[in-house]
A and B are shown apart, each in its own frame.
Chain A
């Protein structure tokens, strides 16, 4: 039964011409890829599209997969890159809409400042707060604390040093804590600042 086969064996069977093997890989990793995309993109519909695109990209690229990395590492890399593409497209969209107008004269849209974000974070849930975490920290945070990947594997997925992974994980966690507004009203925050200055 394919359910008991390792990913690597399924990949080999796919490379030998079995489309059933790829189907099993999709079933096995569909939820994982979807949740990764969902937490990075913060939108269910975009996550579904990105998951689909991830597997289609995997389908296209799997013939050249050499097995130097574990299949899950490789699939995470494909998924993260797909999410980055999706985020880039999303950033580009409003710019394209502005293009025909005299965009230079337009005031910047009023994005929430960190302080404002902190002010409203008390009323938002974790998923919404996660969307406020800067992209480069959010991706690592999701890989570490949502996908539960070890630092070494995250380093392999993103092709960055392990030390950078740890640093980004920590800063992502702190940014999420801040976005959740957990320090709102805590007197210790202010006293610490004055302590540091002293």
Chain B
């Protein structure tokens, strides 16, 4: 037997017209299962509506906005509005988790001692003495739209290999929730005096379209928190 659940919901709401009501009543007269369900559903609805509204955790706002304790909004949040204005933050294929996740596992599986370049072939890693600030980060985003910069030399690459593993792990942790572009360049440098990783991503609209934005992030290399962000249209 087919049960008219949709009409039974209307019956509970009192929204059936006379003809529909007569049809449902005729069904109920011959269907014990639906009569029982009406009884159960009435009690179930009453129970569901009796559930109290619980207070969200007091730190939810801080967890989202990061503005707790009067310390002001963190850098990643401050730029979010501007990024929206530029319509630059658009999700595309997830390259970062692949870089961070799979490579990290590969290294761990090798016991962590074997040095193998953990970055994809098209990601360059380097160290710089430069102390970046917001303007420098923006300059990097601008310059990256024209040139991807110098690749590390072969000699430097071996030395940097182990370092880059930590870098990828760190930026993966720092940007996992925010960044969805393709990582192309990682720089170990300083940002406003702090040891930092500078990560350059290419972002695009997806669906096979080419990247249209360079996004540059700075994260503390100590605790992998996001320090700043800049972007530029390609």
Contact = CB atoms under 8 A, between A and B. Distances in A.
A177 interface: yes
Interface in A149-198: 163-164, 166-167, 169-178, 180, 182-183, 188-189, 191-196
B212 to A, nearest CB: 14
Contact of B35 (A60, A64, A180, A192): A192
Given A19-B78, A48-B60, A183-B40, A146 B178 contact: no
A130 interface: yes
B70 to A, nearest CB: 14
B136 interface: no
A39 interface: yes
A176 B48 contact: yes
A28 to B, nearest CB: 11
Contacts of B12: 170, 173
Interface stretch (B50-58, B127-135, B214-222): B50-58
Contact of B5 (A26, A166, A191): A166
Interface stretch (B86-94, B99-107, B115-123, B188-196): B86-94
Contacts of B114: none
A178 B35 CA distance: 13
B31 interface: yes
A17 interface: yes
Contact of A126 (B48, B67, B77): B48
A34 B178 contact: no
Range of interface residues on A (Cβ < 8 Å): 35 or more
B153 interface: no
Given A19-B77, A56-B64, A166-B10, A31 B37 contact: no
Interface string B35-71: 1110111111101111101111100110111010000
Contacts of A145: 45, 48-49
A174 B41 contact: yes
Nearest to A39: B51
A169 B65 contact: no
A18 interface: yes
Contacts of A14: 81, 84
B6 A170 contact: yes
Interface in A32-57: 33-35, 38-39, 44, 48, 51-53, 55-56
A52 B64 contact: yes
B37 A174 contact: yes
B56 A146 contact: no
A196 B33 CA distance: 7
Contacts of A87: none
B6 A48 contact: no
Contact of B89 (A19, A52, A60, A177): A60
Given A167-B5, A180-B44, A192-B36, 14 more contacts: A16-B85, A22-B81, A26-B61, A34-B54, A51-B60, A52-B63, A59-B64, A141-B44, A145-B48, A146-B48, A166-B9, A173-B48, A174-B37, A176-B44
